């Protein structure tokens, strides 16, 4: 490993070690409830019409619904189990005070985008690298890059874009392929980054020098890709995020 590549990790290790010591020694260390963002997903974003997603928590059902089709968004219409904004698995993995909001947005052109906000609770483990959850038995990450999205009245926003390929077995030994993208960035109080490692460094910095641990959120936008050569999805991300961003109230 080259020294240059190693550096951020070294800085991180030192910061985290120092943070642990600071945490152990100080009584004035505070877990702040201040988030860098207000957790809300608007009903409309420009021409995009949003619909909240709800998940059945019955381990044998785990069905996904859109809230507009439900009389009671807290009760599964089929099995009567409790419903949540988190999927069954997210609820198993994440601490109880994690907040997740998900909406499915549809454009009059029939394009569909899924937007989500995950806000960490007191336990900061609720936010990790999204890559960890996206790699699965039938799904793999085929690429990643950071794109800049021009926004009015401020600097460009850097967003991490992953391309994904999921395969599902069909009848007669056929395989169906689904190509998607997953774009995300992290938001802390007064801070934004597409890099998980940068977020970890800032968290270490804040805990040592400011003695606070702010609540971080990550915002994700995902959708479909037409084929392996398709790059039009990047325009979809740019268009959606540039309309979505001003709707989010920053602290």
* Nearer Cβ to Zn ion (30/82): 82
Choosing from 19, 53, 56, 187, the residue that interacts with Zn ion (CB under 5 A) is 56
- Shortest distance, CB of residue 134 to Zn ion, whole angstroms? 25
Determine contact, residues 130/156, Cβ cutoff 8 Å.
no
* Nearer Cβ to Zn ion (61/91): 61
Handedness of CA 156, 183, 7, 192 (dihedral sign): positive
User: Does 79 help bind Zn ion (rule: CB under 5 A)?
Assistant: yes
Choosing from 29, 81, 205, 245, the residue that interacts with Zn ion (CB under 5 A) is 81
Determine contact, residues 82/142, Cβ cutoff 8 Å.
no
What residues contact residue 125 under an 8 Å CB cut-off, 6+ apart?
A: 95
User: Does 58 help bind Zn ion (rule: CB under 5 A)?
Assistant: yes
Determine contact, residues 115/41, Cβ cutoff 8 Å.
yes
**Residue spans of alpha helices (H) in the chain:** 3-25, 88-93, 130-134, 196-205, 232-244
Stretch that binds Zn ion, among 11-19, 30-38, 48-56, 88-96 (CB under 5 A): 48-56
Stretch that binds Zn ion, among 78-86, 88-96, 122-130, 146-154 (CB under 5 A): 78-86
- What residues line the site for Zn ion (CB under 5 A)? 56, 58, 61, 76, 78-79, 81
């Amino acid at each position: 490993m080259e020294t240059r590549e190693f550096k951020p990790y070294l800085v991180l290790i030192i910061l985290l070690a120092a943070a642990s010591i600071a945490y152990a020694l100080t009584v004035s260390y505070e877990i702040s409830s201040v988030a860098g963002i207000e957790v809300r997903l608007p009903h409309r974003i420009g021409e995009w019409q949003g619909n909240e997603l709800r998940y059945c928590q019955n381990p044998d059902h785990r069905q996904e619904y859109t809230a507009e089709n439900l009389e009671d968004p807290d009760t599964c219409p089929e099995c009567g189990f409790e419903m949540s904004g988190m999927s069954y698995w997210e609820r198993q993995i994440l601490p109880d005070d994690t907040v997740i909001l998900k909406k499915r947005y549809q454009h009059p052109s029939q394009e569909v985008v899924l937007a989500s906000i995950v806000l960490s609770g007191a336990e900061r483990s609720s936010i990790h690298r999204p890559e960890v959850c996206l790699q699965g038995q039938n799904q793999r990450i085929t690429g990643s890059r950071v794109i800049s999205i021009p926004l009015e009245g401020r600097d460009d926003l850097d967003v991490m874009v992953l391309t994904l390929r999921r395969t599902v077995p069909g009848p007669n030994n056929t395989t169906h392929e689904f190509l998607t993208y997953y774009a995300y960035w992290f938001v802390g109080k007064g801070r934004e980054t597409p890099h998980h490692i940068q977020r970890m460094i800032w968290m270490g910095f804040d805990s040592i020098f400011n003695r606070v641990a702010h609540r971080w959120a990550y915002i994700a936008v995902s959708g479909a890709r037409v084929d392996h050569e398709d790059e039009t999805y990047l325009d979809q991300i740019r268009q959606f995020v540039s309309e979505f961003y001003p709707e989010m109230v920053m602290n």
